[in-house]
Structure formats: C-alpha cells, structure tokens
Amino acid sequence: MDRAKPLQPLLHLSLVMAALSFFAGLIALSGVTGTTRFPGQDLLLAVSFGLSIAWAMSLVVGVVTRRWRGLWLLIGLPLALAYPSVILALALPGIIR
C-alpha cells in the first residue's frame, strides 16, 4: 500500500501565497498607509493579482494530485481572493446592485 502524498508543504505554500496576496492588496489600497496615492501602488496591486493566480494554480495542483484532501487548500480562499473581488466589484458596478 502506497503512502499518501503529504499535504502539509502544499498547504503551507498556499496559505503563505494567500496571506501575501491579501497584505499586498491591503497596502496597495491604502488600508495601512492612510494616504490616497503612493509610488508603487499599481505594482502592489499587480503583485496581489499575481499571487491570487498563483494560489489558484496551487489549488488546482493540490486537487489533481491529492484528490479530496486537496480541498483543504480552500482555507486560503478568503485571503487570496479578497482584493481581486473588491477590485472587480468596483470596476464592474453593474454586477452588484
């Protein structure tokens, strides 16, 4: 009987990517600095989106390789998609009424 692949390294990586995505978005949207605009704000938003995409790819890899146990990676969902969903809601006001 084969031992199951460990989920812990992928779970840690997923949570780190989700947390970094959240905090990059928080700083980029002036939740921490208190200013309205600062240099590098667009870069931080791009980093937040990139980390969210990387998190989604790690979720797919986890579900494909670990099957049902890979769904544990969904723990990072609120952090990973917080600011991309806020930006999308602000950019497309007709969706949310």
Per-position pLDDT tens, the chain of length 97: 446 778 899 999 999 999 999 999 888 887 665 666 777 788 888 899 999 999 999 999 999 998 898 899 999 999 999 988 887 877 777 765 5
Which of 49, 52, 27 minimizes the C-alpha distance to 40? 27
* Whether the Cβ atoms of residue 83 and residue 29 lie closer than 8 Å to each other: yes
- d(CA 65, CA 9) in angstroms, rounded, equals 13
Please count the other Cβ atoms lying within 10 Å of the Cβ belonging to residue 1. 3
At 35 the pLDDT is 62
- Global pTM value: 0.81
Which of 61, 54, 63, 72 minimizes the C-alpha distance to 11? 72
At 51 the pLDDT is 94
